[in-house]
Amino acid sequence: IVRRGETISREVAGLLTRMEIFPLEVGLNLRAVVNHGTYYPPEVLAVDLDALRAELARSARRSLALALEVGYAAKETTPLLLERAHRRALALAVEASYPTKETAASLFAKALRQAKAVSEITGH
């Protein structure tokens, strides 16, 4: 009558009730577990979902950072690796005073700073 995940209409709910089919929420409430002679009390078995989600998010961030650090190319890291490589190449080009369309503004700013520093030192 209803597929998994579909919303049950009032008409279908009424029909199911007349057939004595009632909705259930099924779960497991562990009071303790014994595994190979080791007893685990309920406080050890409890799962803090918020803490679990936070730890999962933290682990995902750390794994991304590690992948970026070692230069591991994957669908998730390639755009970030290319962006980092571009920034480093641009910084290297500016440091080496290599003129391009992308470095021109930075090179002019660098030259002005250097000229100002020379002017302050020499008084001219």
For residue 4, tell me if it sits in a domain: no
- Flag whether pLDDT at 24 surpasses 80: no
For residue 87, tell me if it sits in a domain: yes
For residue 2, tell me if it sits in a domain: no
- Confirm whether pTM is higher than 0.75: no
pLDDT per position as a tens digit, 28-81: 888 899 999 999 998 888 888 999 999 999 999 999 999 999 999 999 999 999
For residue 3, tell me if it sits in a domain: no
Element (H, E) at 10: helix 10-18
Pair of tokens at residue 83: 């962006």
Cβ-proximal residues to 106 (8 Å cutoff; 6+ apart), any chain:
90, 94
Residues spanned by the domain of 53: 10-122
The model's confidence at residue 92, banded by pLDDT at 50, 70 and 90, is very high
- The tally of domains found in the chain comes to 1
